[in-house]
Structure 1
Amino acid sequence: MSSPSPGSRLKRAVLSADDGLMMRGAFFVLLLAAGAFLYVDLREMSLASAALPGHDPMTTDAPVLPPALTDGVPHPPPVEPGSPSEVLRQPMRFELLPGGQLMAEGSIDLGAAGRFAEEIAARGEYVTAVSLNSPGGSVEDALAMSKLIRERGLNTRVATKALCASSCPLILAGGVTREAEDDAIVGVHQVFNAGQDKPSPEQAMSGAQSTTARIARHLDEMGIGSGLWIHALETPPDRLYYLTPGEMAEFRLTTEPVATARQAN
């Protein structure tokens, strides 16, 4: 039997360690190593894109719901989303629902955070929770929305068959109370902010390392377990790591079962 790889041993060590200085130190060592692997992933994707125009998974032509991360044949997502791809690809829009819920649906386009802030300011204290249905998008906007949600003391949720993928879980992490209903689709993968439409592999790696550090710091400030971002770092941008309810609770991405909240009402 072959011995586990150094990366596998490091991953187990980080996941089993208690939160504190030791975990953070080991985690950021892993971030540096992940940058090298991300460089290889991005370079291979760049070469594949040149050979097959229009098939670059980093473009808007990519599937809204990528296949699950697997060692062999890609697996489909655990549940099909309730919204059509055309709806999810549109720029994020906001709709006030009964009970103080603000629906945030669509791709997190550049400028989404500004529109979100305007919506929150206009609605005043009536908004108590943000319901998410998004395939992800701009990391900068997702981080800004997440920070505003925490500053305002709002809750976040992902409804049944709603989607929260790529950078969307960063917004979910901002909620004071964070819920994901049965069959909610929550997934993570490698994300980065490219400074141009087609960055070189070197530029992409630099941007990925910087963005990864900022995301890791933000998740730590929100009280989210570092294991969540480890799964993201391991998953190429053309795949998704779909989180189970147990994993979301373990990483503190969700704070309590939806059933508990319903019983309290």
Structure 2
Amino acid sequence: MIGSETPPGRFERLVTRLPEGAVLRGVFVSLLAVSAAIVFLDYRDLSAATEDAERTMRTEPLPLQRPEPGDQVRPYLPRTIPVGPDRGEPVLPGHDGPVGGEAMAGPMRFIAAPGGAVTAIGRIEIGTGAQLTAFLADEGIRAGSTLHLHSPGGSVDDAIAMAREIRRLRLSTSVPDDGYCASACPLVLAGGVTRDAGEGAWVGVHQVYAVDIPGMPELRDVGASISEIQATIARCQELLVEMGVDPAVWIKAMQTPPEELYVLTEEDLSTYRMVQAEPDPALFIGPPAPDAPTEAGTAAVTPEASPDAG
């Protein structure tokens, strides 16, 4: 019926004004833009994965600038070591061999050196804590000896067990000049009654994380649940408090992604008490017990507290 047609809307009028083929060209350009964005995102992810693979699989020492205040984050190397400008590789008591590559990626081993010193080199794996206890007992290592650390870290629970055994035996700990003590390794360092980090030593922390390396057993220190992660963080901080180290250092660990490492400066090491030239004094907890009255109304004398008590 004439006159009953609905007049075209604004959008329809706009489309009808477009030159022939413009709509198809617009659709094509849009699809091309979407495809380019997808390719870019895939390339970015592939580049990141390649960089991460190069970092985790690298076995040659990696030259890196030494950290300075405000510039302390460096890549985390799980199977080699960083080397600062004009610096070399560490010398470890009793150890004659490579200090990166195989030595870093392999399970931690212990070497007795003259004078009662011990070198610990390699990854801290599940069971390393028990192996250290057995080694120290077999070698007759006594109080006053020093455990020299060179490790990319590993199992948190074993690092905690190692620290407590070191403190129980009253041993000292040290990271040698240009040595590497990363991830869970600083927890072991904290166990020493005295603690030292040599010139150019790399002592760094990051979030609790298990690095997946082909050909190596996967070490899972925490599960997927938030409660397990929180429990692990609490155990780390509890150990640091127990060892006389400022637990605030673990804030730096929690702020640093697992693929990176927050490297402590000399000032940090001192401020957080990660290094300690002298043993902490014996702590006296609580006031002396009050004098107990006797039947005659006189006070009983309370023995003086021993400085070694507790």
TM-score of the aligned structures, taking structure 2 as reference length: 0.57
> Is the contact made by 1:67 and 1:240 (CA closer than 8 Å) also made in structure 2?
no
* Deviation digits for residues 189-214 of structure 1 (CA, Å, limit 9, x no counterpart): 011579x9698x98253332110011
Alignment of 1:1-265 (within 5 A): 52=49, 55=52, 61=57, 79=84, 81-82=89-90, 83-126=99-142, 128-192=145-209, 203-256=224-277
Amino acid corresponding to residue 139 of structure 2 in structure 1: R
What is the identity percentage for the equivalent residue pairs of Structure 1 and Structure 2?
Answer: 38
> Is the contact made by 1:192 and 1:212 (CA closer than 8 Å) also made in structure 2?
no
> Is the contact made by 2:74 and 2:262 (CA closer than 8 Å) also made in structure 1?
no
Partner of 2:79: none
Compare relative contact order (CA 8 Å, sep 6+) and give the higher one, 1 or 2.
1
Amino acid corresponding to residue 152 of structure 2 in structure 1: P
Q: Aligned pair in 2 of structure 1 residues 140, 62: CA closer, same or farther (>3 Å)? A: farther
Amino acid corresponding to residue 90 of structure 1 in structure 2: G
TM-score of the aligned structures, taking structure 1 as reference length: 0.66
Amino acid corresponding to residue 151 of structure 1 in structure 2: R
* Whole-angstrom CA distance in 1 between matches of 2:177 and 2:262: 18
Higher share of residues assigned helix = 1
Unmatched 5+ stretches in structure 2: 1-44, 76-81, 91-98, 212-216, 279-310
Q: Aligned pair in 2 of structure 1 residues 61, 209: CA closer, same or farther (>3 Å)? A: farther
* Whole-angstrom CA distance in 1 between matches of 2:259 and 2:56: 12
* Deviation digits for residues 216-249 of structure 1 (CA, Å, limit 9, x no counterpart): 1111111111221111111011000010111101
> Is the contact made by 2:163 and 2:189 (CA closer than 8 Å) also made in structure 1?
yes
* Whole-angstrom CA distance in 2 between matches of 1:137 and 1:66: 23
Unmatched 5+ stretches in structure 1: 1-47, 258-265
Displacement of 1:53: 8.9
* Whole-angstrom CA distance in 2 between matches of 1:54 and 1:174: 34
Q: Aligned pair in 2 of structure 1 residues 198, 89: CA closer, same or farther (>3 Å)? A: closer
Amino acid corresponding to residue 109 of structure 2 in structure 1: R
Which stretch of the first structure deviates more once superposed, 226-235 or 172-181? Answer: 226-235
> Is the contact made by 1:192 and 1:207 (CA closer than 8 Å) also made in structure 2?
no
Which stretch of the first structure deviates more once superposed, 206-215 or 151-160? Answer: 206-215
> Is the contact made by 2:246 and 2:273 (CA closer than 8 Å) also made in structure 1?
yes
Aligned length: 205
Displacement of 1:187: 0.6
- Corresponding residue SS for 2:260: coil
* Whole-angstrom CA distance in 2 between matches of 1:123 and 1:198: 28
Displacement of 1:254: 0.2
> Is the contact made by 1:248 and 1:254 (CA closer than 8 Å) also made in structure 2?
yes
* Whole-angstrom CA distance in 1 between matches of 2:50 and 2:245: 38
* Whole-angstrom CA distance in 2 between matches of 1:54 and 1:78: 19
> Is the contact made by 1:193 and 1:208 (CA closer than 8 Å) also made in structure 2?
no
* Deviation digits for residues 149-186 of structure 1 (CA, Å, limit 9, x no counterpart): 00110000000111100000000000000011111111
> Is the contact made by 1:93 and 1:106 (CA closer than 8 Å) also made in structure 2?
yes
Amino acid corresponding to residue 93 of structure 1 in structure 2: R
